[in-house]
Amino acid sequence: MSNGQLVSATRKANPETKSFIKDFLALIKIGIVNSNLVTTFTGIWLAFQFTGGHFLQHLDLIAYTMVGTALIIGGSAAMNNYLDKDIDPIMKRTRTRPTVTGRFKPNVVLTISLSFLIVGEILLFTASNAAGMWGLIGILAYVVLYTIWAKRRYVSNTVIGSISGAVPPVIGWAAVEPSLSFGALALFLIMFAWQPPHFYALAMRRKNEYSAANIPMLPVVKGFRRTKVSMLIWIVFLFPLPFLLKELGIAFIILATMLNIGWLVLALRGFKTTDDLKWASRMFIYSLNYLTITFVLMIIFAIFI
């Protein structure tokens, strides 16, 4: 093969390789994996700071926890794709998933999922028995409680699904301090309360798709106004939670409260808006920024404990 033919063949292979990687990352929902790793790391970091541990002396434990958590989240996401392959073609948001396009066959997806879950749990149990047990709780909450049991049956599916989303920071904390101090509960509650308004905003934007797929999301079953009321209630519930992390100092509490006030003001504006979908998009974007900023603030202020 001449040099020109080799270059031509490489150029043809690259798009195929990029497409495979893109589909694989979509299969394991890499965006969800990354965001949850931020909360997992925060749990690890705060546990070290609260207990007086030395972060750099336990890099192996941190690696086990972070990689293990990434694998069980990616494995759970792949299992979700496997179980939802019948309804994903109906929704515009999910119809390009590799389980729908045929890029990954069902048996391959199942193999990837189970492999990730098993290896991930081995790593978490290597970190600590408590981290491994919380990992199992997260898997069962997402795959069994949410995907298999609640998602297609109950309007409360979002709240039930919030259990699994609140587990990663607890896994991180449990790897360092298996007995779990009060700070771990605070992280769990913040994540738990953050998720309903975040996902309700998405559900409002995708109401017609969820309706077509017969998924009983709150905006589909109860309408937009009832959804706005629920979002408001969950945001109000967030207000006292920064005080559970008083060890981070008054500055953290003030900044976290300002973020809560900003979200509350935006939520209240929803009752006067003439464009529900535009407002829902703003709520969704705010929720993403809220999560990132809040957990970064925790990491920063924990340094000064």
Q: Domain spans of the chain?
A: 17-302
Residues 119-172: pLDDT tens digits?
Answer: 999 999 999 999 999 999 999 999 999 999 999 999 999 999 999 999 999 999
Cβ-proximal residues to 4 (8 Å cutoff; 6+ apart), any chain: none
Instruction: Give the residue among 256, 267, 202, 265 at the shortest CA–CA distance from 231.
Output: 267
Q: pLDDT at position 55, please?
A: 87
- Count of CB atoms within 10 A of residue 94's CB? 19
CATH class entry, domain 17-302: mainly alpha
* pLDDT averaged over every residue in the chain: 93
**Mutual orientation of helices 30-51 and 59-83 as an angle, nearest 10°?**
150
Which segments in the chain show pLDDT lower than 50? 1, 3, 5-13
Q: Which two tokens stand for residue 12?
A: 């043809």
**d(C-alpha 166, C-alpha 194), whole Å:** 9
Question: Which pTM does this prediction carry?
Answer: 0.92
Q: Are 135 and 72 in contact (CB under 8 A)?
A: yes
Please report the sign of the dihedral spanned by the C-alpha atoms of residue 124, residue 61, residue 195, residue 88: negative
Whole-number pLDDT of residue 8: 46
Do 113 and 63 form a contact (C-beta atoms < 8 A)? Answer: no
Spell out the residues 6+ positions from residue 32 whose beta carbon is closer than 8 angstroms to its own.
73, 77
d(CA 29, CA 23): 10
Cα dihedral 184, 185, 187, 189 in deg (nearest 10): 170
Q: Please tell me the predicted confidence (pLDDT) of residue 109.
A: 96
Q: 281-293, pLDDT tens digit by residue?
A: 999 999 999 999 9
Confidence at residue 9, expressed as pLDDT on a 0 to 100 scale: 45
CB atoms within 10 A of CB 199: 21
C-alpha dist (Å) from residue 168 to 86, 98, 135, 172, 176: 28, 26, 8, 6, 13
